[in-house]
């Protein structure tokens, strides 16, 4: 074989190799991107909504079981808890604000005499969520049931709604602001305008 033929062969092999690497690279890229899509579906409404619904449910468990650390951690570091008129900012302030008694029974220290402890349960329904990148806006209903009576019978105590702002921090959704409206107190009721959209 002549010298120029060997040179030509080298060129062909080189080109083919380059194309092969290029194709392989595409294949790897594809695998990676598709995997990422399947794993996190980063910009999916469903994914963000699912995580926020979970946050809102964990908030309730922490609140009703007086797990104040977990409760405070559902807020961002500078998050705001606002019960219309009273407002707290930051996890420490929020924790202090809600660390009172869980039920009237506990505060009076006597209505539990001879009975198992009374409990109170906040429930969330009708969750509306709008996502805008790493920010989210929520509206939802809440109502409270409890059994702080001698029969430990279930009683509906109060209801209202939430107006929320959430932020995604390091992949985790947290409340940056939660406003709680309550229809059982004149000074805590919400606006007459639909707060949703």
Among positions 94-113, residues that touch a copy of itself (CB under 8 A) are none
Site string for a copy of itself, 125-154 (x = CB under 8 A): xxxxx---------xxx-xxx-x----xxx
CA–CA separation, 81 and 52 (whole Å):
17
Q: Is 158 exposed, middle or buried (0-12, 13-18, 19+ CB in 10 A)?
A: middle
In the range 110-129, which residues lie near a copy of itself by CB under 8 A?
115-117, 119, 121-129
Query: CB 33 → a copy of itself: shortest distance, Å?
Result: 4
Strand (E) positions, the chain?
75-82, 87-89, 120-132, 135-146, 155-169, 172-182
10 binds a copy of itself (CB under 8 A): no
Nearer to a copy of itself, 34 or 96 (CB): 34
Nearer to a copy of itself, 139 or 168 (CB): 139
Closest CA to 52 of 114, 140, 118, 156: 140
Query: CB 91 → a copy of itself: shortest distance, Å?
Result: 17
CA–CA separation, 115 and 120 (whole Å):
15
In the range 77-96, which residues lie near a copy of itself by CB under 8 A?
none
Beta partners for 120?
146
169 binds a copy of itself (CB under 8 A): no
């Amino acid at each position: 074989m002549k010298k120029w033929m060997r040179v030509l062969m080298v060129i062909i092999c080189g080109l083919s190799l380059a194309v092969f690497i290029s194709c392989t690279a595409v294949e790897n890229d594809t695998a990676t991107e598709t995997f990422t899509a399947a794993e996190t579906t980063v910009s999916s409404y469903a994914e963000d909504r699912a995580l926020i619904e979970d946050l809102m449910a964990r908030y309730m468990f922490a609140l009703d079981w007086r797990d104040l650390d977990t409760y405070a951690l559902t807020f961002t570091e500078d998050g705001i808890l606002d019960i219309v008129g009273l407002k707290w900012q930051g996890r420490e302030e929020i924790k202090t604000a809600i660390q009172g008694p869980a039920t009237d029974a506990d505060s009076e220290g006597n209505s539990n005499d001879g009975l198992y402890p009374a409990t109170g349960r906040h429930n969330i329904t009708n969750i509306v969520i709008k996502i805008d990148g790493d920010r989210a806006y929520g509206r939802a209903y809440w109502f409270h049931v409890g059994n702080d009576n001698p029969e430990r019978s279930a009683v509906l105590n109060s209801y209202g709604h939430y107006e929320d702002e959430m932020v995604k921090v390091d992949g985790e959704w947290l409340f940056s602001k939660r406003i709680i409206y309550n229809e059982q107190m004149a000074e805590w009721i919400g606006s007459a305008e639909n707060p949703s959209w």
